[in-house]
Amino acid sequence: MKYSIYPGCSSEGTAISYHHSAVEVAKVLGIELKEIEDWNCCGSTVLSSVTGQFAADVLASRNLALAEKMGQEDVVTTCSSCYAILGNVNKKFADDKFKYNANDALSKDSLSYDGKLKVRMLLDVMVSDLGLEKIAAKVVKPLKGLKVAGYVGCQTVRALREFDNCENPTFLDNVIECLGAEPVDFSHKLKCCTGIMAMTSPEVTISALYPILKSAYEAGADLIVTPCPLCQMNLDAFQIKVNKAYGTKYNIPVLFFTQLMALAYGLDRKAAGLDYCIVSPNNALKQWA
């Protein structure tokens, strides 16, 4: 199983543990991830307000053009925002006028894109292409007794609506169960964390995070896992501010689902990237890490 992987900017910063654990877990599962050479930022949700939509689209499509040069593999990303941006731009290449204009711009970088690739989330690839049985088969240290809140977030299954169920997603919970852990009944699994708004309106973010953390806590979760870098960063970094604002004492570790997979597969804490967390997972994971 071979795929081109678009790491995205967060993989070199706030979500370095995600990228690192994803690559290590992929090796265990026999998934070959070939990094797109000379990739650039997808532009996220803010670039279009500065450059205009077309320029932002061309910047994102440059990554797809680079991937196409590598071969006709699907482009996999670990970031929900990158998935939304690249996936939506990819669909625009079905329009002949957009394709012509975009390729005219890309030609200045000696590139072109035919629009034939498919943009995928890693969670989708693991469940849809590999399958739950194979995910479970690699477990050597079952996470029995660990209660986990699977936080999907608002973009992962809704951005393109091409995998899982956008109103009642099960992929993440199914993976958690495959690892031997217990996915708790988590009513806020699809609620928005406010994303990058945390940088400009932190008070809005804090008010949005409180019910998410409250829901996980009341469900008895030992920790939260997510496939989204922004969700992980906000829940982890702002948890202390939620406690200060609401008089709570939440101390819930927030990990990426690939970190949990790494532990269940017997990889060490370095491979699992456990030392990058703000809220320490050491107590919750002391049996396995």
CB-based contacts of 197-203 (< 8 A; 24+ apart in sequence)? 198/233, 198/234, 198/237, 198/238, 202/238, 202/241
- Given a cut of 70, whether residue 45 has pLDDT beyond it is no
Give the Cα separation of 238 and 217 in Å (integer): 16
The stretch 255-269 carries a mean pLDDT of 97
Q: What is the pLDDT of residue 43?
A: 86
Query: Any idea where the domains of the chain sit in the sequence?
Result: 2-122, 132-276
Cα 179 to chain centroid distance, Å, stands at 18
- DSSP state, 62? H
- Given a cut of 70, whether residue 270 has pLDDT beyond it is yes
For 35, the 3-state DSSP assignment is strand
Q: What is the pTM of this model?
A: 0.94
Q: Six-digit token pair at 286?
A: 């002391």
Contact 79, 128 (CB under 8 A): no
Q: What is the pLDDT of residue 72?
A: 67
Q: Which pLDDT band, with edges at 50, 70 and 90, does 177 fall under?
A: very high
CATH for the 132-276 domain, from 3.40.50.11810, 3.40.50.10170, 3.20.10.10, 3.30.460.80: 3.40.50.11810
Q: What are phi and psi of 86, to 5 degrees?
A: -65, -40
145-160 pLDDT, tens digit per residue, is 999 999 999 989 998 9
The stretch 248-274 carries a mean pLDDT of 97
Give the Cα separation of 89 and 94 in Å (integer): 10
Fold (topology level) of 2-122:
Glutathione S-transferase Yfyf (Class Pi); Chain A, domain 2 (1.20.1050)
Residue 160 Cα distances to 3, 143, 183, 279, angstroms: 19, 32, 25, 31
Contact 120, 77 (CB under 8 A): yes
Cα 178 to chain centroid distance, Å, stands at 19
- Given a cut of 80, whether residue 223 has pLDDT beyond it is yes
The stretch 223-232 carries a mean pLDDT of 96
- Given a cut of 70, whether residue 48 has pLDDT beyond it is no
Q: What is the pLDDT of residue 73?
A: 79
